[in-house]
Structure 1
Amino acid sequence: MNGLAAVAALVIFSVAFFLIATERVHRVAVVLGAAGLMVALRLVPGDDMFYNEHAGIDWHVIFLLLGMMIIVGVIKQTGVFEFLAIWAGKRSRGRPYRLLVLLMGITAIASPFLDNVTTVMLVAPVTIAVCQQLGLPAAPYLIAEVLASNIGGAATLIGDPPNIIIGARAGLSFNDFIVHMTPIVVVLFALFVVMARVMFRSAFRHSVQVDAVMHLNGRDAIKDKPLLVRCLAVLALVMVGFGLHHMLHWEPAVVALLGAGLMVLVSGVKAADYLAEVEWATLVFFMGLFVMVGGLVETGVIHRLGGWTVNAVGDNYFLAATALIFGSAILGAFFDNIPYVATMAPVVEDLAAQAPDAQTGQALWWSFALGADLGGNGTAVAASANVVVLGIAAQHGEPISFWQFTKYGIITTLVTVTVAWGYVWLRYFT
């Protein structure tokens, strides 16, 4: 592609991102318009938009989201979310910070074993229900959860979609992620729990309707116990499928779709009921976003950024690791980290291949993973989980603006990435 095409793609992306950030135009309208321009100007070939996994729509992500949305939509009919809301409210005894830590802990513990998109889709409805029961604003709790999810998901190979891409490209196993990523993730989550006490302090001043919750019986919230048993059995199979998808040679999206089909089959729930829970606007937003990023890929913008990074660091591999962790966090905050990692992985592979030993090469991959995963907290559109939670919040009448999320995300990213950089230096370069 020529330089003019690259400039055009960059201008379209920048204007679209500005409109999304300022919320002057609905974000779905923005990405559809920007994606249409990318294709109309042939910055993204029409066929690539649908069939190129690096420069077009990532259907693995779209169908993973669709499958999990249907699963959540069926489970919601059982009343289990209301049950969990009552349980969480009672367990916290109405203390807002204790409730926040409880919900963040559930999210962070689940995220390394489920992908973080799946985790937030399961936890967000519970959070909204418990906040409504206690008379609390849901937005701070949802934001804290998705930030915790992006931190917790970095711990394992399957916890965050970028890790799956990195593991496949670098030949890193599930155990490699446990040994190298989990220790720092535990530290970062503990740090985030302390940070949340300060960042969300305004949310802890609201009066809590705890008496109403303490007198509720959670079991009464379950509308159909036999249906709940069947749904939980299918959900357990889906979780096993996610854990074994590499051995089964199934993409996570295939597991989600099979689970959705089985869930619908055993539940007998009407299509109108579970399809009403599908976040169609979120799915369309992702499609447009992938095409927008595809324009930067096809015109060579992202490849040039990677090339400049490789040339700038030369033989200084600690500088390379520093550039990867901070550069990935910065770029990942503006691009969805899934297409970003898919695009930059070949650049990191070339850089790691030039390393003097295997440990240094792996250190570059870990720096890349930490930067991309933690950078997912940078803005409201930096990670799939962020976009999904904003969609769920809007659908339930608890809208979260771009800047409401981003002002917390930037602080969290800055602190966690800096601590992670110190970890990389101590573990691999001293």
Structure 2
Amino acid sequence: MSIVAVTVFVAAYALIASDRINKTVVALVGAGIMLAAGIVGSRDVFYSPETGIDWDVIFLLLGMMVIVSVLRQTGVFEYVAIWAVKRANASPRRIMILLVLVMAIGSAMLDNVTTVLLIAPVTLLVCDRLSINPAPFLMAEVFAANIGGAATLVGDPPNIIIASRAGLTFNDFLLHMAPIVAIVLAALVALLPLLFGPITVEADRVADIMSLDEREAIRDRRLLIKCGAVLLFVFAAFVSHPVVGVQPSVVALLGAGVLILISGLDRSEYLSGVEWETLLFFAGLFTMVGALVKTGVIDDLARAAVDATGGNEFLTVMSILGVSAPVSGIIDNIPYVATMTPIVTELIDVMPGNVHPNTLWWALALGADFGGNLTAVGASANVVMLGIARRAGTPVSFWEFTRKGIVVTMVSTLLAALYVWLRYFVLT
């Protein structure tokens, strides 16, 4: 069964990377083969937290997509777009840096998928106003989202899984993850000219947008106030998740339901921003990865990687970091971390404990979070961004994203390795 699972997954991955067939079709067909072959069953797919569809991710996306659809009716995205361009003096490079920083900070406070859903519409409007290609901006932002999300417990789904298994708190993540995230974010900003080259804009476009009054973009102030109140509740619930214990997916669905009730919008309006293809792609991808988990393929690979270190603490930590980045970039970091957490728990029990007891957890978190930038399917935020870009008429190919993602991931992982070595092995 494991041979069949690997064959189907590799074939599906190759087709997704080729961009010749719609990736949602590939993912659903791959999932169908896994089910038809009996590798996974309905209980594995729909009910198992280890091998099934991650419904928290699916419904978090659905709820936030509905909220963004309602928010779009107010004109607030146009307001923010004009404001951002004017503050940056219509310089594309400054706008990109501004949006990257906003995306990183937002991803640390909320989560990277939610922040992408909120900032991407602003980006599209900015680029439309300036008549420039939004693809470089969207890619730069999603790189920043995955980096910024690593800083806190709620910023990236793998962090929530790690915190639950290791008993780590919100403040633990801030203390140990935020410093390296700030360093890597600065490196990303420095890399932007190398990754995307010069971006030019016509002078008449600059003059036109600088003459606009952003306040005139607001079309429905009453609805904006309602959206603001609901978003405030949603954001507060996201941040307080470790205390109140309500899952972000539940919060997003509640917020979406309340907005639908109080907005008075037609169904076509509040569903206009829902990326149904993206949601179906995730369902198929989770099913295929779940088959690899059930057959023990991911478990075998992870154990082989850490066993190769021979029990050396430093080599084990660096092995987890070095293996987690590329593997998370290929199979999605959520199921990878779910598989690795019991292995890390066992390793901590047998390690001599001469360094900080949670070093292995930080290595896993850094590798999984930063590795999400490696490919177009490495993190949930990447898939959402690709869907938004496609619907906007500026699709980003798998390899266009991955060529740049490889550079960002390599730099991020090297800086993370240096940070771990200095903080937990040299300065302890």
- TM-score, normalisation: structure 1: 0.97
CA distance in 2, matches of 1:393, 1:83: 21
Conserved? CA contact 1:317–1:360, under 8 Å: no
Residue in structure 1 matched with residue 53 of structure 2 by the alignment:
57
Conserved? CA contact 1:90–1:213, under 8 Å: yes
CA distance in 2, matches of 1:395, 1:358: 52
Counterpart of 1:207, as a letter, is E
Conserved? CA contact 1:184–1:423, under 8 Å: yes
Residue in structure 1 matched with residue 333 of structure 2 by the alignment:
337
CA distance in 2, matches of 1:346, 1:336: 18
Q: Would you say 1:198 and 2:194 are equivalent positions?
A: yes
Conserved? CA contact 2:23–2:281, under 8 Å: yes
Q: Would you say 1:100 and 2:96 are equivalent positions?
A: yes
Q: 1:11 aligns with which of 4, 7, 15?
A: 7
CA distance in 1, matches of 2:276, 2:100: 26
Residue in structure 1 matched with residue 368 of structure 2 by the alignment:
372
Residue in structure 2 matched with residue 327 of structure 1 by the alignment:
323
Residue in structure 2 matched with residue 207 of structure 1 by the alignment:
202
Q: CA deviation at 1:358?
A: 7.7
1:58-207, aligned counterparts within 5 Å?
A: 58-202=54-198, 204-207=199-202
Counterpart of 1:205, as a letter, is T
CA distance in 2, matches of 1:344, 1:265: 42
CA distance in 2, matches of 1:288, 1:298: 15
Q: CA deviation at 1:357?
A: 2.2
Conserved? CA contact 2:320–2:364, under 8 Å: yes
CA distance in 1, matches of 2:355, 2:252: 36
Q: CA deviation at 1:310?
A: 3.2
Q: CA deviation at 1:197?
A: 2.1
Residue in structure 2 matched with residue 38 of structure 1 by the alignment:
34
Task: Encode CA deviations 1:206-233: one digit per residue, 9 max, x unaligned.
Answer: 4352111011111111110011011011
CA distance in 2, matches of 1:359, 1:64: 37
Counterpart of 2:210, as a letter, is M
Residue in structure 1 matched with residue 400 of structure 2 by the alignment:
404
Can you give the 5+ residue segments of structure 2 that lack an aligned partner in the other structure?
none
Task: Encode CA deviations 1:140-164: one digit per residue, 9 max, x unaligned.
Answer: 0000000011011100101111000
Conserved? CA contact 1:355–1:361, under 8 Å: no
Task: Encode CA deviations 1:350-379: one digit per residue, 9 max, x unaligned.
Answer: 112222228443111100000000000000
Is 253-262 or 364-373 further displaced after alignment? 253-262
Q: Would you say 1:312 and 2:308 are equivalent positions?
A: yes
Task: Encode CA deviations 1:302-338: one digit per residue, 9 max, x unaligned.
Answer: 1111221232123211111111111000101101111
Counterpart of 2:233, as a letter, is L
SS in 2 for 1:313: coil
SS in 2 for 1:181: helix
SS in 2 for 1:400: coil
CA distance in 2, matches of 1:225, 1:323: 53
Counterpart of 1:70, as a letter, is V
Can you give the 5+ residue segments of structure 1 that lack an aligned partner in the other structure?
none
1:230-379, aligned counterparts within 5 Å?
A: 230-357=226-353, 359-379=355-375
Counterpart of 1:327, as a letter, is V
SS in 1 for 2:395: coil
Q: Would you say 1:385 and 2:381 are equivalent positions?
A: yes
Counterpart of 2:332, as a letter, is D
Task: Encode CA deviations 1:396-427: one digit per residue, 9 max, x unaligned.
Answer: 21211111111111100001100100100011
SS in 1 for 2:351: coil
Superposition RMSD on alpha carbons, in Å? 1.1
SS in 1 for 2:402: helix
Conserved? CA contact 2:376–2:398, under 8 Å: yes
Counterpart of 2:42, as a letter, is G
Is 304-313 or 79-88 further displaced after alignment? 304-313
CA distance in 2, matches of 1:358, 1:54: 32
Q: CA deviation at 1:248?
A: 1.6
* Percent of aligned pairs with the same amino acid: 52
Q: CA deviation at 1:173?
A: 0.6
Conserved? CA contact 1:376–1:383, under 8 Å: yes
SS in 1 for 2:109: coil
Structure 1 runs of 4+ off > 3 angstroms?
A: 205-208, 358-361
- TM-score, normalisation: structure 2: 0.97
Q: CA deviation at 1:46?
A: 2.3
CA distance in 1, matches of 2:347, 2:151: 23
Is 257-266 or 138-147 further displaced after alignment? 257-266
CA distance in 2, matches of 1:384, 1:68: 14
Conserved? CA contact 2:306–2:319, under 8 Å: no
Conserved? CA contact 2:355–2:425, under 8 Å: no
Is 338-347 or 230-239 further displaced after alignment? 338-347
SS in 1 for 2:151: coil
Conserved? CA contact 1:54–1:294, under 8 Å: yes
